Amino acid sequence: MAEYAHPEALVSTDWVSRHSGDPKVRVVEVDVDTKAYNEAHVPGAIAWAWNTQLCDTVRRDILSQQLFEALMSASGVAPDTTLVIYGDNNNWFAAWAFWQAKIYRHQDVRLMNGGRKKWLAEGRDVSTDVPHVSPAEYHAQAADLSLRAFLPQVQKAAAEHSAALVDVRSPQEFTGEILAPPGLPETCQRGGHIPGARSIPWGKACNDDGSFKTADELRALYGHQGIDGSKPIIAYCRIGERSSHTWFVLKYLLGFENVTNYDGSWTEWGNLVGAPVAKGAAA
Amino acid sequence: MKIEEYQERKVTVDGWDVNLTSYRLGGQWHAKADNVSPGATLCRTTGASREEAEGRALKRAEELLDRTHRHKV
């Protein structure tokens, strides 16, 4: 069985249970909101709210370097801290946090394989205590924008077929049958997908227990759709958090070099005047 | 403190697949409903029993899923 390209980017639930109290380890839960954290969490973990603490709340953007530094400092994270992130929905919001930590070049950041779901299902200890955190000194490095795709790059890639576009939303969002995940607000004017994109829903990368599939299974999943790392890859979803999960899989588990997350995603593309849109299943 | 009697099952609500998770934590039951595809959390509820917590989650899920419009492709 092949190894993940970067196994150091993952830790097991067992590892977390043994190391969550280490002074150089900070465990953070990131969910769709903080209700789950308040209910119970990994002992010693703190929480980040992805919609207020992991984005610019005025303009639509990721954290600025200054805001990222402030979050790390307040969270007691120093540049040499091992940052372990986990969350619900098989880590999709945790992956969003991981992606931003890598944009600001935090050296040692890892996902807890299986996330909140696996931890709970295994019957491990949980807590409702919010730990006291002493602020740390944190200076981030300049953003690594090679991890992020902006609209002009995506438009160029779609027009020139210069990158593989991976749409990680559900098949029904891809075809245009629905404009948002079932039960969630519609945030775009048009349904469908970027012409030329391949449909590979993010969740196919996970086992039932929330952990990632093996490297061989993942290579087969993406390779079957022609996603083999031979050309640049751009992952997108609706608002960029599901695609950060796929970005993690492609870059850290399969080791593809040139992978970007288009966080503008369908909420941007599906609202653009005059943008080309494809409907129905992939050609 | 530990989660006890963790259980997951799939149900259909308004024609949509829903994953229903429930467990006991201390003296309270917790339930969570998420849409199977893509797996987004719809709601979290509590109750004095599993049935009560799940019932509340299903009711809320039904309200939310009822708003989802299927477009012709």
Sheet with A259-262: strands ordered across: A198-199, A164-167, A233-236, A259-262
CATH match for A7-143 among 3.40.50.12140, 3.40.250.10, 3.10.180.10, 3.20.20.10: 3.40.250.10
pLDDT at A28 over 70: yes
Domain-wise residue ranges, chain A:
7-143, 148-269
B18-36 residues labelled b (16+ CB within 10 A) or e (exposed): bbbbbbbbeeebbbbbbbb
Residues of A in contact with B8 (CB under 8 A): 121
Cα end-to-end distance, chain B, whole Å: 49
Q: What is the pLDDT of residue A112?
A: 98
Q: What is the pLDDT of residue A1?
A: 65
Cβ distance A123 to B4 less than 8 Å, yes or no, reads: yes
Q: Is A171 helix (H, G, I), strand (E, B) or coil?
A: helix
Q: In whole angstroms, what is the distance from residue A186 CA to residue A202 CA?
A: 19
Cα-flanking dihedrals φ and ψ of residue A160, to 5°?
A: -105, 0
Q: What is the pLDDT of residue A246?
A: 98
- Domain B3-65 matching CATH 3.30.67: the answer reads yes
Q: What is the mean pLDDT of residues B34-59?
A: 93
Cβ distance A242 to B38 less than 8 Å, yes or no, reads: yes
Strands A25-31 and A82-86: parallel
Output the DSSP codes for A64-96: -HHHHHHHHHHTT--TT-EEEEE-HHHHHHHHH
Could you count the other beta carbons within 10 Å of the beta carbon of residue A114?
Answer: 24
- Kindly report the nearest CA distance between residue A221 and chain B, in angstroms: 17
Between positions 86 and 145 of A, the ones with CB within 8 A of B are: 88-90, 92, 117, 120-121, 123-128
CB-nearest partner of B40 from A89, A121, A172: A89
Is A237 a residue of the active site?
yes
pLDDT at B5 over 80: yes
**In terms of CA atoms, which chain A residue is nearest residue B46?**
A39
CB-nearest partner of A39 from B8, B25, B67: B25
Q: Which CATH number does A148-269 carry?
A: 3.40.250.10
Residues of B in contact with A172 (CB under 8 A): 37
- Global pTM value: 0.96
CB pairs under 8 A between A and B: 93
pLDDT at A238 over 70: yes
Alpha helical stretches, state H, A59-177: 65-74, 88-103, 115-121, 151-160, 171-175
